[in-house]
Amino acid sequence: MPSPRRVWQTHRVLVGLFPELDAPGGIQRAGRHIAFVLSEYAAAHKMDYRFLSINDSQELHRMRVNDREFFFTGADRRKTRLLATALRTARRRPKLVLAAHPNLAPVVHAMKLFAPKMKSIICTHGVEVWEPLSPVRKHALRNATLVLSPSQATADHLTSIQGVSAKRIRVLPWALDPDFETRSSSGTRTPLPQAFPAGQVILSVGRWLAAERYKGMDTLILAMPRLLLRWPNLQLAIVGSGDDRQWLENIARDSGVQRHVHFISDISYGELSACYEGADIFALPSRGEGFGFVYLEAMAHGKPVIAGAHGGAPEVVLDGVTGYVVQHGDPVQLATSLDALLSSPETMKRMGDAGRKRVELEYRFTVFSKALKKILRELCES
């Protein structure tokens, strides 16, 4: 008798591939948000999940967000280890795999050799897809079932530079942390860090890395001499960490404003929230933000925001409504915008209130979670 035909069976398994989860940074934060939603969706639909991270240590990690706990396995920065584990997982013929960074798209493409009916989602963020990818990554990205982008600007780069079909792209903005409101309304106020200055304060938050000088913190420092002519008590507080601190300190010293520029590192989330509350204006005149979580946090704290007129930032910060957008690397325009805010407390309050309302309506975690679950449902049930 002829052997019976093999029956294709797609298991009710969700797979998540992440560059890193247990670390600071916007991409890592977005990954945690995605993992949180995937684990919720899996639990609600009686599905299993498997989360793999390339850069976290090789062990089973447990992470808690709000009242939900999820687990993931690290590959200790070994690409071959991640690939081998992903291919073993693909033999279970999962329903869907989501890669939280386009660098992981080739792994997804390889998994489809073992699970050709598996649906796939690739998440993009910003600058990593604003320049042509390698042929292997570009091919894998183009062949994903769906590509997610946090902004229309990045979506446009996906079509024009990477050649991804517009029909395969979905714009899904990131959101505040799921426990942001709980932390904000806890009633316990964390004191300001000791290094936080007194007086009128412009706050900036971001990593101090030579590879990320596009964030424009040097331009903020270069704008200070012009501003201090009118506002002699003005202070600039820069929160972050990285190998570029000395370079920024040298700019402050050479500009003669070192006493007005304060670098703040190694603080808790509560202390960071206190910095947002204690500042008058938030500014990050970057040219490389695909989205910008820090803009959301500043707006949620009711602060007017100055962002770069580039990438996804103008989609978050509405020019003239919740703040101003300025050209990267232009200290004169930046100083003019900051001066306009400092000169009008009414404008600062109006923009701060508008930003807070915008976050509450469009960037709460529940909005992001609902949209992503809808996408998962569409793909898993198709």
* Residues 196 and 206 grouped into a single domain: yes
pTM for the model stands at 0.91
Tally of structural domains, the chain: 2
* Residues 160 and 282 grouped into a single domain: no
* Residues 117 and 197 grouped into a single domain: no
* Residues 228 and 329 grouped into a single domain: yes
* Residues 338 and 368 grouped into a single domain: no
Helix (H) or strand (E) holding 105: helix 105-111
* Residues 286 and 368 grouped into a single domain: no
* Residues 330 and 372 grouped into a single domain: no
CA–CA gap between residue 225 and residue 63 (Å, rounded): 45
Size of the chain in residues: 382
Asked, for residue 181, whether it belongs to a domain, the answer is no
CA 71 to chain centre: 21
* Residues 171 and 296 grouped into a single domain: no
CA–CA gap between residue 11 and residue 257 (Å, rounded): 62
* Residues 313 and 232 grouped into a single domain: yes
CATH number of the structural domain spanning residue 21: 3.40.50.2000
Asked, for residue 259, whether it belongs to a domain, the answer is yes
Asked, for residue 225, whether it belongs to a domain, the answer is yes
Contact of 31 with 112, CB cutoff 8 Å: no
Q: Residue 116 has which token pair?
A: 């050709």
Write out the chain's pLDDT in tens, 382 residues. 444 444 444 568 999 999 999 998 899 999 999 999 999 999 999 999 999 999 999 999 999 877 789 999 999 999 999 999 999 999 999 999 999 999 999 999 999 999 999 999 999 999 999 999 999 999 999 999 999 999 999 999 999 999 999 999 999 999 999 888 766 655 677 899 999 999 999 999 999 999 999 999 999 999 999 999 999 999 999 999 999 999 999 999 999 999 999 999 999 989 999 999 999 999 999 999 999 999 999 999 999 999 999 999 999 999 999 999 999 999 999 999 999 999 999 999 999 999 999 999 999 999 999 999 999 999 998 7
Asked, for residue 205, whether it belongs to a domain, the answer is yes
* Residues 256 and 337 grouped into a single domain: yes
Q: Between vectors from CA 252 to CA 250 and to CA 256, what angle results, nearest 5°?
A: 115
* Residues 72 and 118 grouped into a single domain: yes
Q: Compute the chain's Rg from CA coordinates.
A: 22
Range of the domain at 69: 11-175+364-380
* Residues 229 and 205 grouped into a single domain: yes
Residue type, 292: G
